[in-house]
Amino acid sequence: MIRARENGPIVERDDSLEFEPLDQYQQRRQNLKDIEALGHPAYPRKFAWTHTPKEILEKYAGSTVEELESSRVTVSVPGRIVALRPHGKAAFAHIAGDGARLQIYVRQDIVGEEAYKLFKLMDLGDFVGVTGHLFRTKTNELSVKVDKLELLTKSLLPLPEKWHGLADVELRYRRRYLDLIVNEKAREVFIRRAQIIREIRHFFDARNYSEVETPMMHPILGGATARPFITHHNTLDMKLYLRIAPELYLKRLVVGGLDRVYEINRNFRNEGIDAIHLQEFTMLEFYQAYSDYRELMDMTEELFRSLAEKICGSTKFKYEETEIDFGHFERLSMRDAIVKFWPAAARPAPTSAELAAAGGPLAIAERFNVYARAQNIDPILNVGKLSAGELIGELFEAVAEPHLVQPTFIYDFPIEISPLSKTRADDPSIAERFELFIAGMEVANGFSELNDPIDQENRFRAQVEKGGHEAPKEVDVDYIRALSHGLPPTAGEGIGIDRLVMLLTDSHAIREVVLFPLLRAESGEPAAEEIPAPGAANKPNSAADGAKK
């Protein structure tokens, strides 16, 4: 590639990309040329800085006008120009860096005519490095009086409108980089997301867990019920599934003697997309030998409480106008939850004993459906075809789940909907499993792992026989083999990181906490397979996105 810029004029190519707004893009290209003509590189290599804007604002927040005058503080600070208020031969600007905005004051009589000429060729969005001393303006704003100023990177495209910012949701996701520059809230969400994941790692590392990475492309589907993405490996000529869960691999590791493992990584499910579902999502899964589901509930409570304290500064925080409190976690068995939240208008309310009795769940589901139809609520479909356990699951979702705003563990699930969990010693119809609900969302799912290989094989076979596009197509024989070698009593849990981040950042859509959520290709944008291979004469296609035709 030709890199002639440093030694001479820009190499002009008539097929290079241009972007909307074209007039502003061309204007900035011209400014760039003029800057280079003045002898300033537009893309220099580094800048020796002493502070970030944020550091200055924090460190000198308390310094008074007099203090800054009597003992001069000289700083060199880099940042992106995000506001510009020129006044002829002087100008105020704000530069952004490290999440803060610092005002700078540039005067021709201080920086000199030459530098001021350069400054006037700078545009909103350019990166600059300034050296000067701190002072306070008439309005007492801590600012840098610039002695020296250099361009650190020329920006060829303008920033979004300064007052409204970037409000279009689609554009915010497609051009997340602009969203991050302009919208404080977006930046904060992702900084917090990083903190949350860091704290989770600390939490588990401190408990002697090992972080592991297991395959994301699986030859056999397993570990959850969900429709997969399917792909193909050319060299091995092999059908592969993007993983829907890491579970079966992680438990193999416990068989292998890694008694405490966790993995934070993506799962992929080829299903619906809405405010709390995406085709790829980040899951924390962890497994602990010689433990059971009750211990995990305690541990989850501890984890969530410490996260809220560290991230939000308190166990209480606001989510969608309600205060969520991680100081207390309710625990209800699934049957008790149905009893507790049974709608008053659907009397008589069932009892726990009735739910446990033969034929009970069916009778109760039918009672619910009478009520639901009268109230014009969605009834439970196909009640006749569902097992008692499935009916209990359906009843729970219909009756109780929407009410679970404060953190609530629902435990003791029907065995039929928990194919990987151990049953209770005193009741083989119930699995030692729980889910944690907060703000109506399921955020965690844990259980005492089924480690009886014969039982597990039977349950796998039953699933395969039952069929359906979400059911596994074949028994994972190697997993049964691993269990046959012996999985110690183990408890395992998955926590949806995206949803947890939603809660702790008061974000009401999962896409708000994912950096580049998938959107449909813009019309006119080349589909993936149409993009020419590198090396081919590849004048880039007319990216619809505003690029020149």
Partner RNA sequence: AGGGGCGUAGCUCAGUGGUAGAGCAGCGGCCUUUUAAGCCGAAGGUCGUGGGUUCGAUCCCCACCGCCCCUACCA
Angle between helices 388-395 and 360-375 (to 10 degrees): 40
Those residues with Cβ within 8 angstroms of residue 79's Cβ, 6 or more apart along the chain or in another chain? 52, 53, 95, 96, 97, 102, 127, 128
Amino acid at 137: T
Look at residue 470 and give its three-state secondary structure: coil
d(CA 225, CA 236) in angstroms, rounded, equals 26
Look at residue 158 and give its three-state secondary structure: coil
Kindly state the greatest CA–CA separation across the chain: 91
- How crowded is residue 480: how many other Cβ atoms within 10 Å of its Cβ? 14
From the CB of 425, what's the least distance to RNA, in Å? 26
From the CB of 537, what's the least distance to RNA, in Å? 25
Nearer to RNA, 251 or 255 (CB): 251
- How crowded is residue 258: how many other Cβ atoms within 10 Å of its Cβ? 15
Nearer to RNA, 41 or 158 (CB): 158
| Closest among 165, 193, 169, 205 to 181, alpha carbons compared | 165
Nearer to RNA, 47 or 135 (CB): 135
In angstroms, what is the C-alpha Rg of the chain?
30
Nearer to RNA, 160 or 361 (CB): 160
From the CB of 337, what's the least distance to RNA, in Å? 15
Whole-Å CA distances, 265 to 18, 23, 36, 441 = 37, 44, 46, 20
Element (H, E) at 457: helix 453-466
Residue 29: φ, ψ to 5°: -60, -40
Nearer to RNA, 172 or 422 (CB): 172
Report the helix count and the strand count for the chain, using DSSP H and E. 17, 19
| Closest among 347, 299, 276 to 496, alpha carbons compared | 276
| Closest among 134, 28, 133, 140 to 81, alpha carbons compared | 28
Nearer to RNA, 278 or 364 (CB): 278
Nearer to RNA, 243 or 499 (CB): 499
From the CB of 453, what's the least distance to RNA, in Å? 23
Amino acid at 120: K
From the CB of 39, what's the least distance to RNA, in Å? 20
Nearer to RNA, 6 or 184 (CB): 184
Those residues with Cβ within 8 angstroms of residue 267's Cβ, 6 or more apart along the chain or in another chain? 224, 243, 244, 245, 246, 280, 281, 282, 283
Whole-Å CA distances, 169 to 146, 180, 392, 507, 509 = 38, 13, 39, 14, 11
From the CB of 424, what's the least distance to RNA, in Å? 21
Nearer to RNA, 275 or 477 (CB): 275
From the CB of 137, what's the least distance to RNA, in Å? 3
Nearer to RNA, 140 or 234 (CB): 140
From the CB of 172, what's the least distance to RNA, in Å? 8
Residue 520 burial (C-beta neighbours within 10 Å; 0-12, 13-18, 19+): exposed
From the CB of 21, what's the least distance to RNA, in Å? 3
From the CB of 508, what's the least distance to RNA, in Å? 8
From the CB of 3, what's the least distance to RNA, in Å? 27
Nearer to RNA, 289 or 438 (CB): 438
